[in-house]
Amino acid sequence: MEVHGCDPALDDDRIRELGIVPGSVDEVCRRADVLSLHVPLTPRTRHLVDARRLDLLPDGAIVVNTARGGLLDEQAAHAALEEGRLHGVAVDAYETEPPRSSPLIGHPRVVATPHTGAHTAEAVHRMAQAAVGNLLDVLQGRDCRHRVV
């Protein structure tokens, strides 16, 4: 498998060192048989994968969003599924939580999980360690390493 990706925090040389073919979001979409999202939700990334970018994907592509709800325009993804342009969608994070009104829930070509993708024993352990580390940093007058703004 050839992996394509983009990361605004890394230069193209570093991306190549990681074994990834660098490109813009649009270039990655044009080449992605499977598009997997791994970005935070910000005003800039809301609907990062919208109708326009879904149209860039090859016919029969699969979109996986286990990162944050709101990255994927669920209405546009539903339309692409109905039109047969997308083969499937896997989603663990939704635009609205709980996802009562998501058009993706119940669709026969959608794998939908209840926002539990990160709840492994290892992940919960690491989150607890980070929380305690943050608390100790603040109590000892150091900058908080994992500050959420």
Catalytic residue among 14, 16, 97, 142: 97
CA gap 46, 72 in Å, rounded: 8
- Residue 74 falls in the annotated catalytic set: no
- Residue 68 falls in the annotated catalytic set: yes
> In the chain, which ranges are E strands?
4-5, 21-22, 34-37, 61-65, 86-91, 110-112
Pinpoint the alpha helices (H) of 25-119.
Answer: 25-31, 51-56, 74-82
Catalytic residue among 53, 68, 74, 95: 68
Token pair 């044009």: residue? 30
- Residue 44 falls in the annotated catalytic set: no
Catalytic residue among 78, 87, 107, 115: 115
**Bond preceding residue 108 cis, omega within 30 of 0:** no
Please say whether the beta carbons of 75 and 48 come within 8 A.
Answer: no
Q: What pairs with residue 88 in β-bridges? A: 62
Could you list the active site residues? 68, 97, 115
